[in-house]
Amino acid sequence: MPRVKLELPEKFQFSTELRVRVGDLNYGNHLGNDRVLTLIHEARRRFLESLGLQEIGSDGMGFVIADAAVVYRAQAFYGDLLHIEVAAVDFSSRGCDFYYRISQPDQRVVAEAKTGTLYFDFRAQKTLGLPAGVLAKLRNTMV
């Protein structure tokens, strides 16, 4: 069976740090696979906030996850400090992809991930075009 392969961008526009909490552990006493999605969600929110954007605004418009892929590289344990890098790339008229690299201080990569997003009207329950202002802020981080 072929494994999922992600081609990470050369440059990540943002990074943040999070610690593995007791609630992030699974029965193997290491970082649970499902918790990686929660950690990258937090990192994505922090990235958007650093640009003055919200994942979902008070107007009910924002990003919805269309797909996700995670490649696990190493274990992480309770209390480990994780460095999470985020990049927004592959822009389309209705969304973009976010890529993530999670590593430890010794540079050991714990996981790599991608989430495909669409811009969404949560009140009307339909996709929208990515607003020019949002697109400009995301693209300007590539410089």
Concatenating the DSSP letter of every residue in 11-75 gives --SEEEEEEPPGGGB-TTSSB-HHHHHHHHHHHHHHHHHHTT--SB-TTSEEEEEEEEEEEE-S-
Mind listing the domains of the chain with CATH numbers?
A: 14-140 (3.10.129.10)
pTM for this predicted structure: 0.95
Phi first, then psi, for residue 104 (nearest 5°) are -105, 165
Query: What is the Cα 131 distance to its own chain's centre?
Result: 20
Q: What pLDDT does residue 116 have?
A: 98
- pLDDT on residue 126: 97
The mean pLDDT value for 12-18 works out to 97
Residue 49: pLDDT above 80?
Answer: yes
Segment 33-53 mean pLDDT:
97
CA 47, CA 42: separation in Å to the nearest integer?
Answer: 9
Q: pLDDT tier at 143 (50, 70, 90 boundaries)?
A: low
Q: What is the dihedral of CA 47, 50, 51, 56, to 10 degrees?
A: 60
